[in-house]
Structure 1
Amino acid sequence: MKALLPWIETLRERAQAEGLTFPPVLFEEVGPEEMAMLAAYGGFPRRYPHWRWGSEYLRYRETYRYGLARIYELVVNTVPVQAYLLKGNTLLAQKLVIAHVYAHADFFHNNLAFKPIPKDMLSEMAHHAAYVERAMERHGARSVEEFLDLVLSLENLIDPHAPYIQRPQEEEVPKPQDRLRVRPYLDPYVNPPPEPPKEAEEGAKPQALPPRPTRDILGFLARYAPLAPWQKGILEIIREESLYFAPQAATKILNEGWATYWHTRLLLPLLTPKEAVDFAEMQAGLLAPHGLNPYRLGYLLLKEVEERWDKGRFGPEYEALPLGERLRYERPTGEGQKKLFQVRTVYTDLNFLEEFLTPEFALRHRLVSPEELPRFAEAKKALLFRLTNAGYPIVELVDANYQNRGELLLVHTYEGVELDLRKTKAVLENLHRLWGRPVHLKTVVNGKETLLSAG
Structure 2
Amino acid sequence: MRKELRYWAERLGERAREEGLTFPPVLFEEVGPEEMAMLAAYGGFPRRYPHWRFGSEYLRQREVYRYGLGRIYELVVNTVPVHAYLLKGNTLLAQKLVMAHVYAHADFFANNLAFQATPKDMLDEMAHHAAYVERAMERHGARSVEEFLDMALSLENLIDPHAPYIRRPEGEEEERPQGRLRVRAYLDPYVNPPAEPPKEAEEGASPRPLPPRPTRDILGFLARHAPLAPWQKGILEIIREESLYYAPQAATKILNEGWATYWHTRLLLPLLTPEEALEFAELQAGLLAAHGFNPYRLGYFLLQEVEERWDKGRFGPEYEALPLGEKLRYERPTGEGKRKLFQVRTVHTDISFLEEFLTPEFALGRRLLALEDLPRFPEAKRALLFRLTNMGYPIVELVDANYGNRGELYLEHLYEGVELDLRRTKAVLENLHRLWSRPVHLKTVVGGKETLLSAGA
Compute the displacement of 1:370 (Å).
1.0
Q: Report if aligned partners of 1:188, 1:232 keep a CA contact under 8 Å in 2.
A: no
Q: Is the 8 A contact 2:445 2:451 kept in 1?
A: yes
Paired residue secondary structure (2:207): coil
| Matched residues, number | 450
Q: Which residue pairs with 2:266 in the alignment? A: 265
Deviation at 1:67, TM superposition (A): 1.2
Give the letter for the 2:310 counterpart.
W
Conserved 8 A contact 2:185-2:224: no
Q: Secondary structure at the match of 1:171?
A: coil
For 1:32 and 1:129, the matched residues in 2 are separated by: 23
1:398 equivalent to 2:399? Answer yes
Match of 1:146 in 2: 147
**What residue in structure 2 maps to residue 299 of structure 1?**
300
- 1:253/1:295 contact within 8 Å kept: yes
Alpha-carbon deviation of 1:420?
0.7
Quote the offset at 1:188 in angstroms. 4.3
1 CA distance for matches of 2:58 and 2:265? Answer: 31
Give the stretch that moved more between structures: 162-171 or 78-87: 162-171
Alpha carbons of structure 1 residues 205 and 70: separation in structure 2 relative to 1, 3 Å: closer
Task: Tell me the secondary structure at the aligned position of residue 171 of structure 2.
Answer: helix
Rounded Cα–Cα distance in structure 2 between residues aligned with 1:192 and 1:377: 57
Paired AA for residue 127 in structure 1: H
| Paired position in structure 2 for 1:243 | 244
Paired residue secondary structure (1:264): helix
Q: Indicate conservation of the 8 Å contact 1:214/1:396, yes or no.
A: yes
Partner of 1:442: 443
Query: Separation in 2 of the partners of 1:236 and 1:388?
Result: 24
Quote how far apart the aligned CAs of 1:343 are: 0.4
* Shift in Å, 1:434: 0.3
Q: Higher mean Cα deviation, 161-170 or 142-151? A: 161-170
Amino acid at match of 1:10: R
Q: Is the 1:193–1:224 Cα contact (8 Å) retained in structure 2?
A: no
Give the distance between the partners of 2:195 and 2:384, measured in 1 at CA: 42
Question: Which is further off, 324-333 or 229-238?
Answer: 324-333
* AA aligned opposite 1:255: N
Residue in structure 2 matched with residue 103 of structure 1 by the alignment: 104
Q: Match of 1:52, as an amino acid?
A: R
Specify the SS of the correspondent of 1:170: coil
Distance in 2 between residues matched to 1:187 and 1:155, nearest whole Å: 21
Cα 1:161–1:194 change in 2 (3 A) is farther
AA in 2 matched with 1:426: A
Q: Which amino acid aligns with 1:453?
A: S
Q: Distance in 2 between matches of 1:94 and 1:146?
A: 41
Q: Distance in 2 between matches of 1:380 and 1:426?
A: 32
Deviates more, 1:366-375 or 1:241-250: 366-375
Q: What secondary structure is seen at the aligned counterpart in 1 of 2:291?
A: coil
User: What is the correspondence of 1:150-165 to structure 2 with a 5 Å cutoff?
Assistant: 150-165=151-166
Runs of 4+ in 1 over 4 A off after TM superposition: 192-196
Q: What one-letter code is carried by the residue in structure 2 that aligns with 1:31?
A: G
Q: Once the two structures are aligned, what percentage of the paired residues are identical?
A: 85
Deviations 1:38-88 (A, max 9, x none): 000000000000000000001111111111111001000000000000000
Amino acid in the other structure paired with 2:184 = R
Give the match's secondary structure for 1:280.
helix
Alpha carbons 2:184, 2:237 under 8 Å: kept: no
Contact 2:185 2:223 (C-alpha < 8 Å) held by counterparts? no
Q: Deviations over 1:297-337 (max 9, x none)?
A: 00000000000101111111011111111122211111100
Whichever residue aligns with residue 450 of structure 2, its letter is E
Displacement, 1:206?
3.5
Letter of the structure 2 residue corresponding to residue 244 of structure 1: Y
Q: What residue number does 1:90 align with?
A: 91
Matching residue's letter, 1:408: L
Partner of 1:255: 256
Matches within 5 A, 1:133-282: 133-191=134-192, 206-282=207-283
| Alpha-carbon separation, structure 2, partners of 1:325 and 1:359 | 13
What does residue 114 of structure 2 align with?
113
Q: Which residue of 2 aligns with 1:335?
A: 336
**Which amino acid is the alignment partner of residue 363 of structure 1?**
L
**One-letter identity of the residue aligned with 2:371:** P
**Residue 417 of structure 2 corresponds to residue 424 of structure 1:** no
DSSP-derived class of the 1:47 partner: coil
- Give the distance between the partners of 2:277 and 2:141, measured in 1 at CA: 57
State TM-score, norm by structure 2: 0.96
Aligned equivalents of 1:351, 1:273: Cα separation in 2: 40
Q: Structure 1 195/384 Cα, relative in aligned 2: closer, same or farther at 3 Å?
A: farther
| Aligned partner of residue 409 in structure 1, secondary structure | strand
Hey, what's the Cα distance between the residues in 2 that align with 1:189 and 1:402?
33
Q: CA deviation at 1:184?
A: 3.1
User: Cα offset for 1:175?
Assistant: 1.1
Contact 1:195 1:224 in 2 (8 A): no
The structure-2 alpha-carbon separation of the partners of 1:377 and 1:414, relative to structure 1 and needing over 3 Å to count, comes to same
178-187 or 28-37: which moved more? 178-187
> What is the alpha-carbon root mean square deviation over aligned residues?
1.5
Checking the alignment, whether the CA contact within 8 Å between 1:48 and 1:129 is kept in structure 2 is: yes
Question: 1: distance between equivalents of 2:413 and 2:252?
Answer: 24
Partner residue of 2:317? 316
Quote the Cα distance in structure 2 between the aligned partners of 1:281 and 1:50. 38
| Aligned residue type for 2:399 | V
**Please, which runs of 5 or more residues in structure 2 have no aligned partner?**
none
* Residues 188, 233 of structure 1: 8 Å contact kept: no
Tell me the TM-score normalised to structure 1 length: 0.97
User: Paired residue for 1:285?
Assistant: 286
Q: Deviations over 1:235-268 (max 9, x none)?
A: 0000000000000000000000000000000011
Q: Give the equivalent residue in structure 2 for 1:58.
A: 59
The one-letter code sitting in structure 1 at the alignment partner of 2:230 is: P
For the Cα contact (< 8 Å) 1:194–1:223, is it kept in 2?
no
Aligned to 2:364: 363
